[in-house]
């Protein structure tokens, strides 16, 4: 009997070792389909998003909002880990203000999409391994980057036209890294329109320069909920930063005073 028990214990240890080895491989192997190296904090300009949509946005927000926090090279890593709004009930106020669905009244659908497509992949990090952690970290990064306030300081205002090279250089001077700026390509006789700004971060949430991946597909996992696949890297030409009727005062109301 003793020898049988010892054999069972030995077999159990071998199985555990194999399972642990498999788990380690899944997290560390460069061939694993869900492995990723960096994050994109994606901010969008609601006026442009509305311009791109068939949805008639009559009152688009006049401040930059969060589109998402996206790992590169990852997409829907755990389809059984469904979104549960009760897990973020403590931050709903910030979510509704800084991370709204600019096109649809059902914001829960947008957050569900972001969690199930991107959050389940980001969750490989302990600091992002729950819905509360994932959404809270995106909000924290948004406030730290404080794009609305810095654009005010840089005198880059909605309703104006700017050389894209000047916008890029101004942002680089503030953040000490170069973000990826995306525009709606121009129709004939019109200007390109600024639409999204992507800040690249390490797994430790340090800002880094945004560069193309070796495969040239660093933004292969665009979010098609807002049809932003129509956006492209901005050309170094004159660029429209569109406004709408409820203009500058509302933009200023959503900035933070920087001393």
User: What is the full per-residue pLDDT of the chain (259 aa) written as tens digits?
Assistant: 545 445 444 444 444 333 433 333 333 334 456 689 999 999 999 999 988 886 667 788 999 999 999 999 878 899 999 999 999 999 999 999 999 998 887 779 999 999 999 999 999 999 999 999 999 999 999 999 999 999 999 999 999 999 999 999 999 999 999 999 999 999 888 999 999 999 999 999 999 999 865 444 444 455 555 556 789 999 999 999 999 744 444 444 555 443 3
226: left (phi over 0), alpha (psi -120 to 50) or beta: alpha
CATH (domain of 194): 3.90.730.10
Which candidate, 66, 258, 52, 255, places its Cα nearest to that of 157?
Answer: 255
Residue 114 annotated in active site: yes
Residue 82 annotated in active site: no
Residue 118 annotated in active site: yes
Structural domain for 225, as ranges: 37-253
Task: Specify the number of domains making up the chain.
Answer: 1
Catalytic residue (choose from 114, 116, 222, 244)? 114
Catalytic residue (choose from 44, 113, 116, 118)? 118
> Collapsing DSSP states into helix, strand and coil, what is residue 91?
helix
In a domain, 201, yes or no: yes
Q: How far apart are CA 208 and CA 219, in angstroms?
A: 16
In a domain, 171, yes or no: yes
Count helices and strands (H / E) in the chain.
9, 8
């Amino acid at each position: 009997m003793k020898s049988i028990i010892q054999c069972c214990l030995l077999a159990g240890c071998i199985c555990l070792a194999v399972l642990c080895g498999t788990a380690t491989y899944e997290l560390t192997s460069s061939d694993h389909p869900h492995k990723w190296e960096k994050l994109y904090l994606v901010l969008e300009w609601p006026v442009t998003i509305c311009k791109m949509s068939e949805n008639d946005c009559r009152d688009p927000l006049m401040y930059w909002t969060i589109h998402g926090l996206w790992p590169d090279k990852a997409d829907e890593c755990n389809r059984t880990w469904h979104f549960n709004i009760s897990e973020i009930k403590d931050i709903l106020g910030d979510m509704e203000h800084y991370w709204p669905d600019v096109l649809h009244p059902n914001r829960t659908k947008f957050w569900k999409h972001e969690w199930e497509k991107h959050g389940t992949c980001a969750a490989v990090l302990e600091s992002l391994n729950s819905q509360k952690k994932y959404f809270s970290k995106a909000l924290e990064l948004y406030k730290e980057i404080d794009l609305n306030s810095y654009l005010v300081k840089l005198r880059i205002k909605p309703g104006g036209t700017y050389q894209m090279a000047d916008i890029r250089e101004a942002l680089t001077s503030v953040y000490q890294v170069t973000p990826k700026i995306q525009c709606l390509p121009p129709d004939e006789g019109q200007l390109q329109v600024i639409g999204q700004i992507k800040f690249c971060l390490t797994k430790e949430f340090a800002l880094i320069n945004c560069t193309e991946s070796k495969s040239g597909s660093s933004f292969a996992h665009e979010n098609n909920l807002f049809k932003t696949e129509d956006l492209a890297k901005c050309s170094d030409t004159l660029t429209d930063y569109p406004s709408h009727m409820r203009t500058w005062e509302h933009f200023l109301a959503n900035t933070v005073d920087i001393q």
